[in-house]
């Protein structure tokens, strides 16, 4: 079944660093508007600036501040029909009042922070089931930044250092919110050197596509399988389907893992990858001569 909803996953705090994850406050000049990612979320919604937005700050260590920043950013885009939901436990994720707010929303955005909070608080709740139903049956836009992006898939990386990622057992994987199958998403990808995490994840399950999102970069996913790169940075794809060998099951915990023949793609703004047939079409912008 082709979902009617649209999914937008973004690799991190847009352009200026991981504002939603840091415990030391927010960068002063957050550039939410670089290459129009927040604008794209708006224009893809059913009523554009008139759509009802709900910002879910559950993952963040600073929910009030993050909510304020999103409210200010969207006000500059002339979006004012917006609410902030800081759901902090499973009881609140099953509460009728919060359920009705999500039911009425046409755009739902999960902010950054700790993706394990999202899966453990929302997983299996009334709101989680509602979100899955809305994504399948309604023209809703569900977006996630950083942790919100990582939690969007059925499989989710929640722990693992970049430098030790290719040691057996270092990368921890659990279930996400399940809006999209057959992929696993990692964020702040280029800036934090997380290629090892995706290589390990795809080596352990070669049937899934690893997606590494750079900061200020994302994927706009329509029909459940058409993925368009958006933003100013890069999206790295790791395809393990053609992997011919690995020693993952042979080495002891904590030992390095070997991988043979993993395929890597790099996407930039405008490139399109089709999950259905695993094809990549690279966008070739026209170069305008200087002075023309």
User: Would residue 80 show up in a list of annotated catalytic residues for this protein?
Assistant: no
Mean pLDDT along residues 274-280: 96
Q: Encode pLDDT of 249-273 as tens digits.
A: 999 999 999 999 999 999 999 999 9
Question: Given 21, 54, 215, 228, which residue is catalytic?
Answer: 215
Task: Please say if the pLDDT value at position 187 is more than 90.
Answer: no
Q: Return d(Cα 37, Cα 109) in angstroms, integer.
A: 12
Torsion, Cα 12 97 40 218, to 10 degrees, reads 30
pLDDT score recorded for residue 100: 98
The pairing of beta strand 53-56 with beta strand 107-110: parallel
pLDDT score recorded for residue 14: 46
Contact 83, 101 (CB under 8 A): yes
Q: In which band, very low, low, confident or very high, does the pLDDT at 78 lie, cut at 50, 70 and 90?
A: very high
| CB neighbour class for 175 (10 Å; exposed up to 12, middle 13-18, buried from 19) | middle
pLDDT score recorded for residue 26: 41
Mean pLDDT along residues 196-221: 91
Is the pLDDT higher at 258 or at 27? 258
Question: Given 18, 60, 153, 188, which residue is catalytic?
Answer: 188
Q: Return d(Cα 264, Cα 237) in angstroms, integer.
A: 6
pLDDT score recorded for residue 292: 60
User: Would residue 188 show up in a list of annotated catalytic residues for this protein?
Assistant: yes
Weakest-pLDDT range from 40-44, 115-119, 138-142, 192-196: 192-196
Task: Please say if the pLDDT value at position 27 is more than 50.
Answer: no
Looking at the structure, give the CATH architecture of the domain made up of residues 6-17+26-161+173-192+208-233+264-281.
Answer: 3-Layer(aba) Sandwich (3.40)
pLDDT score recorded for residue 210: 94
- Mean pLDDT in the chain? 88
Q: Return d(Cα 193, Cα 171) in angstroms, integer.
A: 14
Which DSSP symbol is given to 49? G
User: Would residue 68 show up in a list of annotated catalytic residues for this protein?
Assistant: no
Q: Return d(Cα 185, Cα 161) in angstroms, integer.
A: 15
Global pTM? 0.89
Q: Return d(Cα 149, Cα 277) in angstroms, integer.
A: 23
pLDDT score recorded for residue 13: 57
pLDDT score recorded for residue 194: 78
Mean pLDDT along residues 14-21: 36
Task: Please say if the pLDDT value at position 37 is more than 70.
Answer: yes
Task: Please say if the pLDDT value at position 35 is more than 60.
Answer: no
pLDDT score recorded for residue 285: 84
Question: Given 146, 152, 153, 204, which residue is catalytic?
Answer: 146
Task: Please say if the pLDDT value at position 192 is more than 90.
Answer: no
Sheet with 107-110, edge to edge strand ranges:
82-85, 53-56, 107-110, 141-145, 6-10, 217-222, 226-231, 272-274, 279-281
Contact 55, 82 (CB under 8 A): yes
Mean pLDDT along residues 48-74: 93
């Amino acid at each position: 079944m082709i979902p009617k909803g649209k999914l937008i996953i973004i690799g991190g705090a847009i352009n200026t660093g991981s504002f939603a994850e840091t415990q030391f406050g927010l960068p002063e000049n957050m550039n939410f508007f670089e290459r129009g990612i927040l604008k794209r979320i708006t224009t893809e919604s059913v009523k554009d600036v008139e759509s009802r937005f709900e910002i879910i700050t559950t993952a963040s260590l600073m929910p009030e501040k993050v909510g304020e920043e999103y409210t200010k950013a969207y006000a500059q885009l002339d979006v004012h029909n917006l609410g902030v939901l800081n759901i902090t436990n499973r009881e609140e994720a099953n509460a009728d009042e919060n359920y009705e707010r999500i039911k009425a929303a046409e755009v739902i955005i999960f902010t950054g922070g700790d993706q394990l909070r999202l899966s453990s608080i929302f997983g299996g709740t009334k709101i989680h089931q509602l979100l899955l139903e809305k994504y399948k049956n309604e023209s809703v836009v569900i977006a996630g930044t950083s942790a919100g992006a990582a939690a969007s898939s059925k499989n989710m990386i929640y722990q693992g250092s970049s430098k030790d990622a290719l040691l057996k057992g270092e990368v921890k994987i659990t279930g996400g919110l399940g809006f999209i199958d057959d992929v696993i998403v990692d964020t702040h990808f280029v800036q934090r050197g997380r290629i090892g995490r995706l290589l390990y994840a795809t080596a352990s399950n070669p049937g899934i596509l690893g997606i590494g999102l750079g900061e200020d970069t994302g994927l706009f996913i329509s029909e459940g399988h058409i993925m368009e790169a958006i933003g100013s940075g890069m999206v790295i794809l790791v395809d393990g389907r053609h992997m011919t060998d690995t020693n993952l099951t042979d080495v002891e915990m904590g030992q390095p893992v070997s991988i043979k023949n993993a395929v890597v793609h790099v996407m930039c703004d405008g490139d399109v990858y089709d999950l259905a047939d695993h094809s990549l079409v690279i966008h070739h912008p026209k170069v305008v001569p200087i002075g023309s």
